[in-house]
Amino acid sequence: MASRAVPAGETARDHLAARVPTAQAGASVSDARRALLGATFDVVDALHVLDDAGRLVGRVTLPALLAADGAARVADLATAPPAAVRPGTDQEAVAQVALDHDLPSVPVVEADGRFLGVVPAEALLRVLRREHDEDVRRLAGIRRDDRFAVRALEAPAWRRARNRLPWLLVGLAGSALATFVVTRFEALLAAHVAFSFFVPAIVYLADAIGTQTEAIAVRGLSRAHQPLPRLLLGELRTGSIVGTVLGALAFAAVLLVWRDVRLAVAVSSALVIAGTVATTVGLLLPWWLSRAGRDPAFGSGPLATIVQDVLSILVYFAVVSAVCTP
């Protein structure tokens, strides 16, 4: 699988705090406490225990260190670090490690286990904030990560338009494609005007279902431990359940108002199928972008909306043609 290149300034190394409390595994607690006096550290949340080769073998929280018997060995108090990262690890993955293991700071080690330092809590908070802002901009179809995008409401109007237009131009092309699809069913609509009444509802509901899946997939893909087929099967089931519930409600409403069983069946069936297709697109598009080495957040927003809209229209008219025409 292609890995996404980590941009400069966005690795664990770029947030590394090297001056942290350390002690040899064989040192006594009193010696370790004495070494802390008068020293200057970048981060003081734990004592990192090293072997003779400088490899990380454990950590001791400062409350535990201060409460321990001074004659005890540091190694006896140390617990194995729940996780560590390499210097070149993406900053978002580092923050995820901290969240998964409830770490106030994340140890950074070389491939041979040699301890380099930690990514501190302050850096982790900045990373989480930055990654959140990036995802929001990408979901909105803003293409650049610069100071104008960060201050979107404060930037000049022409710069805001420049950041947003590229994806919206793609959306315009997609709208033209959707219009072309509708024209292929012009005769059907001319014969049964009521069929056109349900197009907005089908498209909107499919978009809403797909957007929910995209929001989960964009960040969930980096944390998922299951293979794609299993993830896809789960989303297909979810989309089918959601579509079935919405379809059942639509069936009752259409039958009550139009008193046309075939039309009710067509609308409800289209909702079930469109909902299932939308969840598939919402998962597969971010996954494909991730495989291509791009951030999966680009798979959400305008691009996924275009694909879902066109497919929803195709599904609806295909079902209507099959159910409601001789």
**CA gap 64, 76 in Å, rounded:** 11
119, 143, 175 — which closes off a domain?
119
Q: Is residue 171 in some structural domain?
A: no
6, pLDDT greater than 70:
no
Judgement on whether residues 95 and 190 belong to the same structural domain of the protein: no
**CA gap 140, 279 in Å, rounded:** 19
Mean pLDDT computed over 147-152: 48
- Which residues are bridge partners to 11 per DSSP? 90
Domain harbouring 245, CATH code:
1.10.357.20
What is residue 85's three-state secondary structure?
strand
CB 292 within 8 A of CB 2: yes
Identify the weakest region by mean pLDDT among 138-142, 171-175, 259-263, 298-302: 138-142
**CA gap 263, 274 in Å, rounded:** 16
Q: Where are the beta strands (DSSP E) in the chain?
A: 22-24, 46-50, 56-61, 106-109, 115-119
Judgement on whether residues 201 and 290 belong to the same structural domain of the protein: yes
Q: Which domain holds residue 48?
A: 12-119
What is residue 126's three-state secondary structure?
helix
226, pLDDT greater than 90:
no
Residue with tokens 């075939």: 262
204, pLDDT greater than 60:
yes
Mean pLDDT computed over 93-108: 91
119, 138, 158 — which closes off a domain?
119
102, 119, 136 — which closes off a domain?
119
For Cα atoms 17, 20, 26, give the angle at the middle one, nearest 5 degrees: 140
Q: What is residue 100's predicted lDDT score, i.e. its pLDDT?
A: 87
User: Which of these, 126, 124, 135, lies nearest to 95 by C-alpha position?
Assistant: 124
Half-sphere exposure of 179 (CA within 13 A, CB side): 6
Length of the chain: 326
Judgement on whether residues 71 and 191 belong to the same structural domain of the protein: no
**CA gap 69, 72 in Å, rounded:** 6
Judgement on whether residues 316 and 195 belong to the same structural domain of the protein: yes
User: Which of these, 204, 203, 191, 209, lies nearest to 263 by C-alpha position?
Assistant: 191
**CA gap 101, 104 in Å, rounded:** 9
| Per-residue model confidence as pLDDT tens digits over 76-95 | 999 887 789 999 999 988 99
Average pLDDT over all residues of the chain: 83
Judgement on whether residues 95 and 196 belong to the same structural domain of the protein: no
User: Which of these, 144, 138, 171, lies nearest to 160 by C-alpha position?
Assistant: 144
What is residue 249's three-state secondary structure?
helix
Q: What is residue 114's predicted lDDT score, i.e. its pLDDT?
A: 93
Judgement on whether residues 19 and 102 belong to the same structural domain of the protein: yes
Q: Is residue 282 in some structural domain?
A: yes
Q: How far is CA 197 from CA 8, 189, 253, 315, in A?
A: 51, 10, 13, 15
**CA gap 269, 251 in Å, rounded:** 9
Q: What is residue 298's predicted lDDT score, i.e. its pLDDT?
A: 57
3, pLDDT greater than 60:
no
Identify the weakest region by mean pLDDT among 21-35, 102-116, 140-154, 207-221: 140-154
The tokens for 81 are 């670090």
